[in-house]
A and B are shown apart, each in its own frame.
Chain A
Amino acid sequence: MSVTVQMVPVPRSPVIAYRDDGGLARTMGSVVAGQLPPLPPAIAGAFVSGVLIAVGVARSPTLSVFVPVVALLLAGPGSSHAHDGRLDWLVPPVLRLIEYGFTVAVAVAWSLPWPLAFALLGAILFHHYDLVQRMRQRVYPPRWLATAGLGWEGRMLVVALVGAMPVLVVLLTIYLWGVFLWESVTCWAAASGSAAAAGPADAGE
């Protein structure tokens, strides 16, 4: 198998990369051109999502779409901000909280098999751990990965739509594992093949 290492743009900052925005959030961000502070809307998005989940919207396929839409409308425009505020590093954890919480809520609402929910969340977690490692080792992800991986808002939308149908959730899980794992393994193999020496490994962290 031949692997091509493509030229990859360096993200503006690790915090922006850790947001894991998909195409929708990036589009919303380009509209406001970085003028909106990212943290307050993200926290508001988490709060509103929590309230919506608490009143049980996850149980309805039409209503549950409101959670990702509200979260996207609130937290999406911040994606183009430089994230240089003193507390802006809180944005990625808040986005994680929204996505993980909503996914679990949908799984509970439709009584999805727990191992399936575990596997779906596992794929998303793999990507998030992988993102951090990539930024630290400077093996930056290609631009298409953010689109193919759907981003936090895209995955929430799909989960809201397919949550009622376990077969489609299985397909989504397989798709996400496939994209994230395949892309990561090939990219790391290519990067390490070309690097004779590299930084030290950090163990046990």
Chain B
Amino acid sequence: MPDSAVVLPPGLNAVPHTAALILATTPAAGLTVTGPQAAKAPGKPDDGEPSPGPVALLARLAAQLGALPVARLHVIARDAGAPGHTRFTSATADPPAEPVTEARAAGTGATVSGTLADRGTVPDADAVAAELARGGRLRPHVITSSDLAADLREVAAVARADPGPLLVLPGDLVAHTEALARLADPAGPGTAALVGPAAGAGPLRVPVRVEDGHVAAAGNAFHEVTAANATFAGAFLVGRDDLAALAEVAEELAGLVEAGRLGRPPAAQAGELLLTGLVRSGVPVRAVPLGPLHARRIADRAAAEAELAGLAGVDEERARLEAAIKTDDGVFTRYAVSSWSGHLVRLAARAKLTPNAVTGISVGLAAIAAVWFSAGTRIGLLAGAAAFYLSFVLDCVDGQLARFTRRGTALGSWLDTICGRGKEFAAYAALAAGYGAVHGQDVWPLAIGAMLLLALRHAIGSAYADAFPPDRGGARRGPARSLTLPYDLDPYDGEAGGGRPRGRARRAPRLVWARRMVVLPIGERTAVICLVAPVFEARVTFLVLLAWGGVATLYMLAGRIVRSLRRAEG
């Protein structure tokens, strides 16, 4: 029988829910600061951003996580009576031996040496639990530990026990909710780290080198980075498949810390050490760029206040909207739909429309288009084309709205795909019927041919994509390197082709557009129907769809066959 014995109920259990692990082991994690009094933009969707006033950083973080698809919250905090409590503070009293000494971003004017005010008061586990419980929905699972090595061992224990994916973040992180959402996006497979611009590196913002969208080297007080071109913002996500690697790395690091092989690493850099460990063990770590958003670990009250004020200076809603509108679509979608669909997304969000309601309106418009198309007259074709174009715009809006409001559902995705093809094929049938009514000539064979060709391309694309899912075979594991070496490999001199750009990122932009258009994506198909049908009528429309679709099929097929043969070689 072609089925395995594993049995799952459909839907619910299958959806991966992220877990979060907060490392609340720094003094700044216990801060309660006065937030900026800037008024919030009206009509802003609820994103877990707490109201102005005194802000407890941990409660703020927990509220933010509560707004994301995070199901479990683990926290590592200091036991008040533990001997490591004092050891921790003495470790941070020394400025860490950091290759980059400029500590804070130029704008704030503060440096690490000026942060003595709150030092020494690491929040104990009870205080942490109390703060987090105020954060809302998530019930924290508090783990106490005494020092850095113990922290790392606890991380390993969590990585072994939790089914993942696991979001690891420091308790002193001040970030936009949207920045965390990008990291925790379940669509992004595997392991990823939040990275910011290279400027403003410091002990709490360590330098990293990003190559081809992946973290190639990550630094901390012990490990250096050659040719750093970005910084690590403090939070990273470990995919399910990499949790075992995280546990191993954490235990290896704990052993090295205890043996004194990593110098005297500050306990505040547990996350940074883990990132270095993951990268050096060869786990592919995607770099999730912050873009206009902010995320920064803070050392003291002044930095926290400055950072919170900085958050308000960014239009988070706009950043979220821009991220919700995919830009990797075809030319037509990019220039004739995505250029203005953002306004519709905003409108729909204000009107509290669900993505599925937008899909429904889109289907209604497509039905109107089909009725006009089936008349077959010039006026009918023009009106039908207009309605079909609007229907397609709404088809894009529903997905963008789902990402914007973070309310995507499996049902919505299914509805979107099925309705998308349903609308398209209804338009084919209506065009064929209309042509027959006016010209008395059958173009049905062409309509059926166009439909079957599209289905065949879908079969090729889906079978190939799901035979080689990107999180299993797509990201190649990097070379493993020892954690005891403080220095980094020269980026263009490493073994195993470390300097060779991975993937296919280096392409001329014009070629990229050509490649996207040749496969005749949905946007281009819509353009053919909307532009060709009113001018040249249904026959030519189908001939164009068949010819272009035929080229697209051969191109896709050839490319995928070549790629699967190459993949098998190595």
Verify if A132 is at the interface (C-beta below 8 Å from B): yes
How far does the alpha carbon of A35 sit from the alpha carbon of B355 in the complex, in Å?
47
Question: Cβ of B568 and Cβ of A204 under 8 Å apart?
Answer: no
User: Given A194-B12, A202-B399, are A18 and B425 neighbors across the interface (CB < 8 Å)?
Assistant: no
Q: Which residue of A lies closest to B17 (CB)?
A: A197
Q: Which residue of A lies closest to B69 (CB)?
A: A197
How far does the alpha carbon of A97 sit from the alpha carbon of B418 in the complex, in Å?
21
Q: Which residue of B lies closest to A131 (CB)?
A: B462
Verify if A128 is at the interface (C-beta below 8 Å from B): yes
Question: Cβ of B411 and Cβ of A192 under 8 Å apart?
Answer: yes
Question: Cβ of A129 and Cβ of B3 under 8 Å apart?
Answer: no
Verify if B447 is at the interface (C-beta below 8 Å from A): yes
Question: Cβ of B466 and Cβ of A136 under 8 Å apart?
Answer: yes
Question: Cβ of A7 and Cβ of B402 under 8 Å apart?
Answer: no
Stretch from B52-60, B81-89, B111-119, B450-458 forming part of the interface with A: B450-458
Question: Cβ of A121 and Cβ of B17 under 8 Å apart?
Answer: no
Verify if B6 is at the interface (C-beta below 8 Å from A): yes
The A interface is mostly helix, strand or loop, or mixed, namely helix
Question: Cβ of B355 and Cβ of A201 under 8 Å apart?
Answer: yes
Question: Cβ of B409 and Cβ of A192 under 8 Å apart?
Answer: yes
Question: Cβ of B452 and Cβ of A203 under 8 Å apart?
Answer: no
Chain B min CB distance to A97 (Å)? 6
Q: What residues on B are CB-neighbors of A160 within 8 Å?
A: none
Question: Cβ of A26 and Cβ of B1 under 8 Å apart?
Answer: yes
Residue in contact with A202 in the complex, picked from B3, B413, B448, B463, CB distance below 8 Å: B413
User: Given A9-B6, A86-B564, A115-B433, are A201 and B399 neighbors across the interface (CB < 8 Å)?
Assistant: yes
Q: What residues on A are CB-neighbors of B69 within 8 Å?
A: 197
How far does the alpha carbon of A13 sit from the alpha carbon of B6 in the complex, in Å?
12
The B interface is mostly helix, strand or loop, or mixed, namely helix
Q: Which residue of A lies closest to B398 (CB)?
A: A203
Verify if A15 is at the interface (C-beta below 8 Å from B): yes
How far does the alpha carbon of A83 sit from the alpha carbon of B564 in the complex, in Å?
13
User: Given A100-B452, A114-B444, are A133 and B413 neighbors across the interface (CB < 8 Å)?
Assistant: yes
Chain B min CB distance to A137 (Å)? 4
What 0/1 readout, one digit per residue, does chain B (389-410) give for beta carbons within 8 Å of chain A?
Answer: 0001001101110110000111
User: Given A115-B433, A125-B421, are A15 and B466 neighbors across the interface (CB < 8 Å)?
Assistant: yes
What 0/1 readout, one digit per residue, does chain A (153-170) give for beta carbons within 8 Å of chain B?
Answer: 000000000000000000
How far does the alpha carbon of A21 sit from the alpha carbon of B2 in the complex, in Å?
10
Question: Cβ of B452 and Cβ of A10 under 8 Å apart?
Answer: no
Verify if A172 is at the interface (C-beta below 8 Å from B): no
Q: Which residue of B lies closest to A107 (CB)?
A: B448
Residue in contact with A194 in the complex, picked from B11, B326, B408, CB distance below 8 Å: B11
Count of interface residues, chain B, beta-carbon cutoff 8 Å:
76
Question: Cβ of B448 and Cβ of A201 under 8 Å apart?
Answer: no
* Number of A-B residue pairs at CB separation under 8 A: 243
How far does the alpha carbon of A117 sit from the alpha carbon of B410 in the complex, in Å?
31
Question: Cβ of B565 and Cβ of A92 under 8 Å apart?
Answer: no
Q: What residues on A are CB-neighbors of B420 within 8 Å?
A: 204-205
Count of interface residues, chain A, beta-carbon cutoff 8 Å:
72
Q: What residues on B are CB-neighbors of A122 within 8 Å?
A: 425, 451
Verify if B496 is at the interface (C-beta below 8 Å from A): no
Question: Cβ of A118 and Cβ of B396 under 8 Å apart?
Answer: no
Question: Cβ of A203 and Cβ of B429 under 8 Å apart?
Answer: no
Task: Tell me the residues in window 531-570 of chain B with beta carbons closer than 8 Å to chain A beta carbons.
Answer: 560-561, 564-565, 567-568
Question: Cβ of A10 and Cβ of B11 under 8 Å apart?
Answer: no
How far does the alpha carbon of A21 sit from the alpha carbon of B409 in the complex, in Å?
29
User: Given A115-B433, A130-B418, are A12 and B3 neighbors across the interface (CB < 8 Å)?
Assistant: yes
How far does the alpha carbon of A128 sit from the alpha carbon of B326 in the complex, in Å?
26
Q: What residues on A are CB-neighbors of B466 within 8 Å?
A: 13-15, 18, 89, 132, 135-136
Residue in contact with B402 in the complex, picked from A12, A88, A203, CB distance below 8 Å: A203
Q: What residues on A are CB-neighbors of B459 within 8 Å?
A: 18, 92-93, 96, 128
User: Given A96-B459, A129-B418, A199-B187, are A30 and B1 neighbors across the interface (CB < 8 Å)?
Assistant: yes
Q: Which residue of A lies closest to B186 (CB)?
A: A199
Q: Which residue of B lies closest to A92 (CB)?
A: B463
What 0/1 readout, one digit per residue, does chain B (330-372) give for beta carbons within 8 Å of chain A?
Answer: 0001000000000000000000000100000000000000000
Verify if A31 is at the interface (C-beta below 8 Å from B): no
Question: Cβ of A200 and Cβ of B413 under 8 Å apart?
Answer: yes
Question: Cβ of B186 and Cβ of A12 under 8 Å apart?
Answer: no
Verify if B242 is at the interface (C-beta below 8 Å from A): no
User: Given A133-B417, A192-B11, are A199 and B408 neighbors across the interface (CB < 8 Å)?
Assistant: yes
- 28 A-B contact pairs sorted by A residue (CB < 8 Å): A5-B10, A11-B4, A29-B2, A88-B467, A89-B468, A97-B456, A100-B456, A108-B445, A122-B451, A126-B418, A132-B458, A134-B414, A136-B466, A137-B413, A138-B15, A140-B10, A192-B411, A195-B15, A198-B410, A200-B186, A200-B187, A200-B403, A201-B399, A201-B413, A202-B416, A203-B395, A204-B329, A204-B420
What are the nearest 6 A-B pairs in CB distance?
A: A203-B399, A114-B444, A191-B11, A138-B14, A192-B411, A14-B466
A residues bordering B, Cβ < 8 Å? Answer: 5-16, 18, 21, 26, 29-30, 79-80, 83, 86-93, 96-97, 100, 104, 108, 114-115, 117-118, 121-122, 125-126, 128-130, 132-140, 143, 187-192, 194-205
B residues bordering A, Cβ < 8 Å? Answer: 1-12, 14-17, 69, 185-187, 326, 329, 333, 355, 392, 395-396, 398-400, 402-403, 408-418, 420-422, 425, 429, 432-433, 442, 444-445, 447-448, 451-452, 455-456, 458-460, 462-464, 466-468, 522-523, 560-561, 564-565, 567-568
